[in-house]
């Protein structure tokens, strides 16, 4: 079976498509956490619909035990550069982030965040993300967040190399 043709609505995000692996390991920090590193595998694909599908799977760099997981969709408003990023996470958070794609950079911020009733505190209240394709053809992601006890603070930075188109 032939792969589906990309819907033209998502063409401005085509630079994100593929399987990506963190290289080097990602780095995390937050005032309430010890600094940490992680490995991450990212799959961004399409099935011909006017959206991209994604999954982010992180692992402990030494033990390879699973850590953070999230999956969802990236939608573009047709004929604009407005983007919605819809994500469900293994921590019990479901979020919608919105923003814009400009060239090979996507900047988004939380629009709404929901969580399971027994999510541990402090609760995440805001998230911002920036994805960009750098001059070496690597994908970078930077995440900042605010919680019920901390203001907006840098949280994660990771660079990925593409392993499959």
Q: Is residue 2 part of a domain?
A: no
The candidate with the shortest Cα–Cα distance to 156, out of 19, 14, 40, is: 40
The CATH code of the domain that includes 147 is 2.40.128.20
pLDDT digits (tens, 9 = 90+) for 45-90: 999 999 999 999 999 999 999 999 999 999 999 999 999 999 999 9
Q: Is residue 74 part of a domain?
A: yes
What is the number of domains present in the chain?
1
Q: Is residue 34 part of a domain?
A: yes
* Arithmetic mean of pLDDT, 100-108: 98
Phi–psi pair at 34, nearest 5 degrees:
-75, 145
Question: β-pairing, 153-164 with 139-147?
Answer: antiparallel
pLDDT digits (tens, 9 = 90+) for 107-153: 999 999 999 999 989 999 999 999 999 999 999 999 999 999 999 99
Here the tokens at position 101 are 């794609």
Question: What one-character DSSP code corresponds to residue 17?
Answer: -
pLDDT tier for residue 1 given thresholds of 50, 70 and 90: confident
What is the pLDDT at residue 165?
Answer: 86
Whole-prediction pTM? 0.96
Domain residues for the domain of 102 are 8-164
Q: Is residue 157 part of a domain?
A: yes
What is the pLDDT at residue 2?
Answer: 85
Q: Is residue 146 part of a domain?
A: yes
Q: Is residue 3 part of a domain?
A: no
């Amino acid at each position: 079976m032939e792969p589906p043709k990309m819907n033209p609505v998502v063409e401005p995000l085509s630079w994100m498509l593929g399987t990506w692996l963190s290289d080097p390991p990602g780095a995390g920090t937050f005032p309430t956490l010890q600094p940490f590193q992680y490995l991450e595998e990212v799959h961004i694909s399409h099935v011909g619909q006017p959206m991209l599908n994604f999954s982010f799977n992180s692992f402990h760099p030494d033990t390879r035990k699973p850590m953070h997981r999230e999956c969802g969709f990236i939608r573009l408003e047709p004929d604009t550069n407005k983007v919605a990023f819809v994500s469900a996470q293994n921590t019990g958070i479901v979020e919608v982030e919105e923003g814009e794609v400009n060239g090979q950079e996507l900047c988004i911020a939380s629009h709404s965040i929901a969580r399971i009733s027994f999510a541990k505190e402090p609760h995440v209240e805001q998230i911002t993300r920036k994805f960009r394709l750098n001059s070496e053809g690597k994908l970078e992601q930077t995440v900042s967040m605010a919680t019920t006890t901390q203001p907006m603070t840098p949280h994660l930075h990771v660079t990925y190399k593409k392993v499959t188109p």
